[in-house]
Structure 1
Amino acid sequence: MFRNREIRQFAVWFALITAASCAVGFAVRPAAGILALVSALAFGTAFYVFTNARYRSIARITDQIDLVLHNADHTFISESDEGELSILQSEITKMTLRIREQNDALKKEKTHLADSLADIAHQLRTPLTSANLILSLLKNNPEKAERMALMRETEELFIQMDWLITSLLKLSRLDAGIIVFQREPTDVDRLIRSALHPFLISMELHNIQVQTDIPEGISVFGDSDWLSEAVQNILKNCMESTGDNGRIQIACEDNLLFTQITVRDSGAGFAKEDLPHVFDRLYRGANANASGYGIGLALCKSIIIRQGGTITAKNHPQGGALFTIRFPK
């Protein structure tokens, strides 16, 4: 307690005032001097007891804070009976718990980031290894036709890597919350046509039929460009699933509660163990030979949810995968 300079200064001044009061009291009358001395001793004793108890409480709080900072199992600071210290302890406890929660969240995020980076590195390593092998074949292959085929295959690999990196960047921007979506009426028919446009040539080459049933005048509120991006990722998944000579059906339904867009393909559908993880990032399915990178559908879900919608995936009773997007009114 007396290590505090203010307490030492107070003690010196108190001693000087007490000595002066006693001297004046004894000079006037011995009884007055004795009364001044007794009063000073009583006041000094009360002050010492009260201040010492407060310092012990502060020391106890300090020890508990030290435990909280260095002991992961100790997260609570015991309450004090005193008003000001009780309030202080309560606020410190809240702050400590909040810091501990943030620290745990940062550890989880760090682990998730490390796992994601490892998965991304693995995803990129596969096409890079294939490209390196093709380049070796190009170096030792004199046939022009075969060299052209290998070059086309290399170009496709680089296109895949470009798509993967672009999608990962979009996901990271969405996660960071730096993208501001436009909230404006978007015509569903125009949205679907915009999403289909990049795939028309590929669909024609693979003889994939597209059937649409979209009534006129139906619209949803959202960012048309990003919604088109979401639908494109669904269509890409359906095209990979249905293969050559497949069929994709797109329909829209509007009622008082929500606007619903459904996309169904004629492929094999989802494996039972894959259904809970369809929209998980970097999940490629239980089948080791599953195509894709596990990015497209995760990006699609992130876009839809951040614009107030919902998306689900299941197997259609008559076969194939069925994606359902809903935007509440």
Structure 2
Amino acid sequence: MFRNREFRRFTGLFLLISGILLLIGFNLSRASGLLMMSAVVLFGGLFYSFTKLRYQKIAQLADEIDLVLHNEDHLLIEELDEGELSILQSEIAKMTLRIREQNTALKKEKENLADSLADIAHQLRTPLTSVNLLLSLVQATTDEKERKRNMREIEELLLRMDSLITALLKLSRLDAGVVTFQKTSLNLAELAAASIRPFSVSLDLHEVQVETAISPSITIYGDRIWLSEALQNLLRNCIESIGEKGTIAINGTDNPLFTEIMIHDSGKGFEATELPRLFERFYRGEGGSETGFGIGLSLSKAIIHRQGGTITAKNHPNGGALFTIRFPK
């Protein structure tokens, strides 16, 4: 308390004034001097006790702030009476809550980052191991046909790794919030047709029919390239689920509340245990594609959510998977 310069100055001023008053009082009479001395001692004692109590409260708040800075989990700042310290206590409580929330979020982000790095390492290690093995076979074999076959497999594995890295870069950009979406008016029927076009050869080879029912007047606002990416990931999942000879139905509806896109395939649908985890990163499910990485649905969800939409997945009553995308008006 006495380390405070202002307190020392005030104490010195109080003693000076008290000394002057005592001199005046004793000059008047002994009784006046004693009365003045009693008043000085009383008010001085009250001031000292009150100031000491305030400094104790301030020291307590300082100690509790120090606990916050050292990530103390169990921190409770007691309630104070109305006044300046009460306002300070309230602000410290708000700061404590915010710091706790930020610490919790940071811990969760660290855990997610560690899990993601482990998954990425696992996803890349498998094809890299295969590439190394195939390179050894290429070096050891003298059969030209065998060599070409191994080289084709190496090329496919490298393309898979390139696809994974590209998808991960897109996800990381979305997570970091550095993607700037171009909000333009898009014709939904044209967007669906553009998303289907890259799969034309695959659809013909596997005899999968795409049935589209979208009114030419329906429009949505969003980024054409990113929304096309989201739809293509969903269509890729549907094609892999169907396998051979099936149908994919794409329906678009519009109402005063939202624009809805429904994608229904004739595949086997989802297991009940898979539904809560479908959009998790790197989750492929029990019957997932062996060539997939389990990030397509996660990427689609991130793209749609960043543009204000929602996406859900469930089993259609008539069989197969049903993806529902909604963009509020």
Shorter-chain TM-score above 0.5: yes
Q: Offset of 1:73 from its aligned partner? A: 4.6
Q: Where does residue 127 of structure 2 map in the other structure?
A: 127
1:188 and 2:204 aligned: no
TM-score in terms of structure 1 length: 0.89
Any idea what the Cα deviations from partners look like across 1:196-228, whole Å, max 9, x if unmatched?
222223333444333333332222222111111
Any idea what the Cα deviations from partners look like across 1:9-46, whole Å, max 9, x if unmatched?
33333333333343344446555544544443333223
Q: Where does residue 258 of structure 1 map in the other structure?
A: 258
Task: Quote the Cα distance in structure 2 between the aligned partners of 1:255 and 1:71.
Answer: 50
Unaligned runs of 5+ residues in structure 1 are none
1:204-243 equivalences under 5 Å are 204-243=204-243
Amino-acid identity (%)? 59
Any idea what the Cα deviations from partners look like across 1:106-129, whole Å, max 9, x if unmatched?
111111110111111111111111
Task: Quote the Cα distance in structure 2 between the aligned partners of 1:296 and 1:71.
Answer: 38
Task: Quote the Cα distance in structure 2 between the aligned partners of 1:136 and 1:289.
Answer: 27
The Cα RMSD (Å) is 2.5
Task: Quote the Cα distance in structure 2 between the aligned partners of 1:57 and 1:265.
Answer: 67
Count of aligned pairs between the two proteins:
329
The code of the aligned residue for 1:241 comes to S
Q: Where does residue 321 of structure 2 map in the other structure?
A: 321
1:170 and 2:167 aligned: no
Task: Quote the Cα distance in structure 2 between the aligned partners of 1:58 and 1:102.
Answer: 25
Any idea what the Cα deviations from partners look like across 1:256-297, whole Å, max 9, x if unmatched?
443332223232222222122111111111348755111001
Q: Secondary structure of 2:198's partner?
A: helix
Task: Quote the Cα distance in structure 1 between the aligned partners of 2:233 and 2:169.
Answer: 15
Q: Where does residue 296 of structure 2 map in the other structure?
A: 296
The code of the aligned residue for 2:316 comes to H
Q: Offset of 1:245 from its aligned partner? A: 3.7
Task: Quote the Cα distance in structure 1 between the aligned partners of 2:200 and 2:220.
Answer: 24
Q: Secondary structure of 2:110's partner?
A: helix
Task: Quote the Cα distance in structure 1 between the aligned partners of 2:287 and 2:314.
Answer: 17
The code of the aligned residue for 1:321 comes to A
Task: Quote the Cα distance in structure 2 between the aligned partners of 1:124 and 1:225.
Answer: 27
Unaligned runs of 5+ residues in structure 2 are none
The code of the aligned residue for 2:174 comes to L
TM-score in terms of structure 2 length: 0.89
Q: Where does residue 96 of structure 1 map in the other structure?
A: 96
Task: Quote the Cα distance in structure 2 between the aligned partners of 1:174 and 1:183.
Answer: 16
